[in-house]
Chain A
Amino acid sequence: MSTTTTTTPRAATPPSSLAASSKFKTFVTTFSIAGPVVYCLVQYFNYPLITFHPATERLVWGYEAARSGEGPNMLWYGWTATTILTAAALGIIAMMLPERISRKLPLALVWIFPILAIPYIIYSLMPWWVLAAK
């Protein structure tokens, strides 16, 4: 027995009210386009929203270097939080722009920017690769 179910994306159900909103489209595309760029900048300039010290389970606002005798610090949580808040703020700003401007945002940037971020990420991990090469 053979079935003839069409499985292309076009067969999907109509979008919900949120997914049909042009303002929401502007927000999500701006958020996702800005996200990888903001993350690279946040990591490069080291702007974590918080710093976590796992050995002492101490959480502080902003950046704090590892303290002597208290183990390492963790910045990734803070970088991620800064990125999400900044990208969300940019998304909200983009929503305020006239639609004729926001429509010009190339949607392909959503998947191009994360690919372009990878070489920078690899470069930023250079201390690991240098140690591995020794």
Chain B
Amino acid sequence: MMGLISTNTFWTIWLFVHLILAVGLLGALTHQAVAVAMPAHRAAGGIVTRFRAVPAAGYATAVCVLWVLTFIVGSFIYTKYRIYIRIPLEQTGYYKTGGFFDFKEHVATLGLVLLPAYWYFWKNAQNPEYDNARKGVTLVLAVMCWFLFIVGHVLNNARGFAS
């Protein structure tokens, strides 16, 4: 593989894969979070109502799979980040950017450990005992996902694709 494409292209492709998985995760979690925070009982209506009216329970397994895949690909890229991105960031004084990336890695792990309970609560969506916990954990995961995405995006702007 490395003989066919340059090292730079190889890692850029993985960064794209990470991005695509993250976009899918962000979309699924945002739909689900809005549906659980402001449930709509009718699918018809404007775009906002339709956005809220998704069958939220159906997203749970996809969210877990996407979170894990995004996490694994991100962990793979992270080895190169540590050498080729973070060190230049430190040398050029981008400390807040570096600090927020470390913050991102911690949040990604915190989200990862929530997934088993999140999945269980959604697979028992017919049980009102789990309503509050399901709502809480879904909203926390959605906020985490937006944070991870925005920090990753800003970091990529600072020193990302092809650098």
Whether A and B are associated in the same complex: the answer reads yes
User: Restricting to A1-31, which residues have a CB under 8 Å from any CB of B?
Assistant: 1-16, 18-20, 24-25, 27-29, 31
Which of chain B's residues have a CB closer than 8 A to the CB of A20? 124
Contact with B along A70-81 (1 / 0, CB 8 A): 011010110110
Q: Which residues on A sit within 8 Å (CB–CB) of B105?
A: 76
A107 contacts the other chain (CB 8 A): yes
The answer to the question of A117 belonging to the interface, with a C-beta cut-off of 8 Å to chain B, is yes
CA distance A114 to B110 in the complex (A): 6
How many chain A residues touch B (CB < 8 A): the figure is 62
Q: Once the chains bind, are B133 and A111 in contact (CB under 8 Å)? A: yes
Q: Is A110 an interface residue (CB 8 A)?
A: yes
**CB–CB B39/A8 < 8 A:** yes
Report the Cα distance A31→B106, complex, angstroms: 17
| In contact, A35 and B114 (Cβ under 8 angstroms) | yes
Question: Per-residue 0/1 for A91-134: is the Cβ within 8 Å of any B Cβ (1 yes, 0 no)?
Answer: 00000000000000001101110110110011011001101100
Q: Which residues of A contact B112 (CB under 8 A)?
A: 35, 80, 84
For the complex, count residues of B whose C-beta is within 8 A of A: 62
Which residue in B55, B116, B124, B139 is a CB contact (below 8 Å) of A111?
B139
* CA of A125 to CA of B101, assembled, Å: 10
Q: State whether A54 and B80 are in contact (beta carbons under 8 Å apart), knowing that A9-B36, A9-B125, A39-B106 are contacts in the complex.
A: yes
In the complex, per-residue mask of A29-52: 1 if CB is within 8 Å of any chain B CB, else 0:
101110110010001000000001
Mark contacts of B118-146 with chain A using CB atoms, 8 A cut-off: 1 yes-contact digit, 0 otherwise. 11111111101111111011011000100
CB <8 Å contact, B83 and A110: no
Known: A11-B55, A87-B113, A110-B133. 19 other contacts (CB 8 A): A3-B43, A5-B53, A7-B41, A7-B56, A9-B56, A13-B57, A25-B120, A31-B117, A32-B113, A52-B79, A57-B79, A84-B113, A107-B121, A111-B133, A114-B111, A118-B107, A128-B99, A128-B102, A132-B95
